[in-house]
A and B are shown apart, each in its own frame.
Chain A
Amino acid sequence: MLEVHDLNVDFSGKIAVRNTGLTVRSGESFGLVGESGSGKSTLLRTVMGLNGSWSGTIKVDGLDIRKTPRKQLARVVQMVFQDPYSSLHPRYVIGQQVAEPMRINGLPNPERRTAELLELVGLGGPKFQFRFPHELSGGQRQRVAIARALALSPKLLLLDEPTSALDVSIQAEILNLLNRLRKELGLTFVIVSHDLAVISYMCERLMVMRNAQPVETLTRDQLRAGEIANDYTRTLIAAA
């Protein structure tokens, strides 16, 4: 579903991702862990096409992202950001935000589909459609962001710290929702988090990053059995 080879990203001379590669199979949930500045979010944003200068190859569902038009790519891969307070348009009502990607892509019946999507993320009924983001709680806003990401029925969902701005009680609800959606819709996830417990709960495989480079890739079973080769990974687990 996702193939990244020899990816290098630099921001005017400062290297953010160095010689990184990873492969995510269809239907899999893959985690990226590491401290701030380790390049995990940059990697995700580059896959989404949000970074200009990079080298290497990235293929999403067999499509080379350099050669694929923006709109077509958006139907395959979508992203959910960390902070639902800043990733929603403050002056659009919820229904509009969710319908926007469908309007841009000229899909039929955006209104009906919007209602279905909101229902899917647990914000059903007419009462939510006409609310503004500031009238919702953090957890509800993150649900809206998820509904919007699903609007074009993508196969791959990139989740950048999807719950770290939320209370632990709300985090549990969102993680359950994401797992349910993955099962029901057959989605593939790439999740960035600094919380190893969340990654271990959500992902079958994970990659630890540090200083713009991958440190090691583990399966969930290896993580849980403590079969870890790298000292840095051990430090992360001890601190979690």
Chain B
Amino acid sequence: MSNLVEIENLHVAFRNDEGGYNDAVRGVSLTLGREKLGIVGESGSGKSLTGRSLLGVLPPYAKVSVDRMSFDGIDLKAASPRLRRSLRGGRMGMILQDPKFSLNPVMTVGKQIVEAIRIGDRKVGHREARARAIAVLESVHIRDPESVFNLYPHELSGGMGQRVMIGMMVVREPDLLIADEPTSALDVTVRTQVLSILDELVSRRGMGLIFISHDLNLVSKFCDRVIVMYAGRIVETIEASRLSEAQHPYTRGLLSCLPHIDGSLEPLPVLNRQASWAEA
């Protein structure tokens, strides 16, 4: 089976005050099958930019260059904006960190899902779209979807909002889902629930999932494969189950600086950053 996503040598740069460019992503190459791929790194490591350039939603002032970028056999580098627009939403979806900012505050969540369905397929009637929206709310484990349909985003809790976001993204049954810190704004108990919903959807529909997070432990439990990024580069790619055997000192440092419920009370080890990590 061919890869769902292939990226070769991706660079993203932003103009700085001196008129030059600061590289934010520097030569990232990755492939994704129908699997759960985690991208981990600190703020500013370029993990979100990698996801966004795949979707094609970077701001126009970002300078992007890539040797090859393809999605299910479609060459994204040569694709017209029109084609890319038609891929977004329909075949690739994105879940953002905070549902408070990514849902329309003045529209009921049901309407927003119906809108998402009808933008994708104008032939779907109102009644059918409504039925589908309610079905998808049910599939993300929302109790009483009929009444949630008529609620506004501010009437939902964080976990419910995030499930609505996920519902809205999967209702068009995309092949690829990019989840950018989907659970960082959620409580631990709700987090487990949201993750199991994502997991269920990915395995049932055979989607590819790119899961962007700064939480190594979470990613290692949830994903099949993990990419660790530092300063715009991939420093290590590793099977999630073997994360504890990670070789790179940065990955090891990230793992060891977490406190544990039954861990030692000595000062936590902190990252001793080496300039060489940022080199190729």
The residue that A167 contacts in the complex, of B42, B268, B269, with Cβ under 8 A, is B42
How far, in whole Å, are A176 and B265 apart by their CA atoms in the complex? 10
Residues of B within 8 A of A196 (CB): 188, 261
Interface of A is mostly: helix
The residue that B214 contacts in the complex, of A137, A167, A173, A224, with Cβ under 8 A, is A167
Mark interface residues in B238-280 (1 if CB within 8 Å of A CB, else 0).
0000000000000001100111111101011111000000000
Q: Is B188 in contact with A240, judged by CB distance below 8 angstroms?
A: yes
Q: Interface with B: A15-23, A93-101, A107-115, A231-239, which one?
A: A231-239
Q: Is B188 in contact with A194, judged by CB distance below 8 angstroms?
A: yes
Q: Interface with B: A62-70, A124-132, A197-205, which one?
A: A197-205
How far, in whole Å, are A138 and B44 apart by their CA atoms in the complex? 11
The residue that A200 contacts in the complex, of B189, B259, B270, with Cβ under 8 A, is B259
Residue B9 is within 8 A (CB to CB) of chain A in the complex: no
Residues of B within 8 A of A35 (CB): 187-190
> How distant is B77 from chain A, measured CB to nearest CB, in Å?
32
**B61-83 with Cβ < 8 A to chain A:** none
Interface of B is mostly: loop
Residue B215 is within 8 A (CB to CB) of chain A in the complex: yes
> How distant is B16 from chain A, measured CB to nearest CB, in Å?
14
> How distant is B160 from chain A, measured CB to nearest CB, in Å?
12
The residue that B260 contacts in the complex, of A37, A180, A197, A235, with Cβ under 8 A, is A197
Report the interface size for chain B: residues with CB under 8 A from the other chain: 28
Q: Is A236 in contact with B257, judged by CB distance below 8 angstroms?
A: no
Residue B157 is within 8 A (CB to CB) of chain A in the complex: yes
Residue B191 is within 8 A (CB to CB) of chain A in the complex: yes
How far, in whole Å, are A67 and B233 apart by their CA atoms in the complex? 58
Q: Is A179 in contact with B258, judged by CB distance below 8 angstroms?
A: no
Whether A172 touches B261, Cβ cut-off 8 Å, given contacts A35-B189, A236-B189, is: no
Residue A169 is within 8 A (CB to CB) of chain B in the complex: yes
**A178-217 with Cβ < 8 A to chain B:** 179-180, 194-198, 200-202
> How distant is A7 from chain B, measured CB to nearest CB, in Å?
23
> How distant is A38 from chain B, measured CB to nearest CB, in Å?
9
Residues of B within 8 A of A55 (CB): none
Residue A120 is within 8 A (CB to CB) of chain B in the complex: no
Residue A4 is within 8 A (CB to CB) of chain B in the complex: no
Instruction: Tell me the nearest residue of chain A to B273, going by C-beta.
Output: A169
Q: Which size class do A's interface residues fall under?
A: 20 to 34
Residues of A within 8 A of B192 (CB): 239
Q: Is B267 in contact with A168, judged by CB distance below 8 angstroms?
A: no
Q: Is A175 in contact with B259, judged by CB distance below 8 angstroms?
A: yes
**B90-134 with Cβ < 8 A to chain A:** none
Residue B145 is within 8 A (CB to CB) of chain A in the complex: no
Whether A172 touches B262, Cβ cut-off 8 Å, given contacts A167-B43, A194-B188, A240-B188, is: no
Q: Is A197 in contact with B259, judged by CB distance below 8 angstroms?
A: yes
Residues of B within 8 A of A172 (CB): 257-259, 268-271
How far, in whole Å, are A176 and B254 apart by their CA atoms in the complex? 15
Residue B158 is within 8 A (CB to CB) of chain A in the complex: yes
How far, in whole Å, are A164 and B271 apart by their CA atoms in the complex? 18
Residues of A within 8 A of B257 (CB): 168-169, 171-172
Q: Is B261 in contact with A224, judged by CB distance below 8 angstroms?
A: yes
> How distant is A116 from chain B, measured CB to nearest CB, in Å?
22
Give the top 9 A-B pairs by smallest Cβ distance, nearest first.
Answer: A201-B259, A172-B257, A172-B268, A35-B187, A239-B188, A167-B42, A200-B261, A169-B271, A197-B259
**Could you pull out 14 A-B pairs where Cβ atoms are within 8 angstroms?**
A36-B187, A169-B271, A170-B42, A171-B257, A172-B258, A175-B268, A176-B268, A176-B270, A180-B267, A195-B188, A197-B261, A201-B259, A201-B263, A239-B192
**B-binding residues in A (CB < 8 A):** 35-37, 137-138, 167-173, 175-176, 179-180, 194-198, 200-202, 223-224, 235-237, 239-240
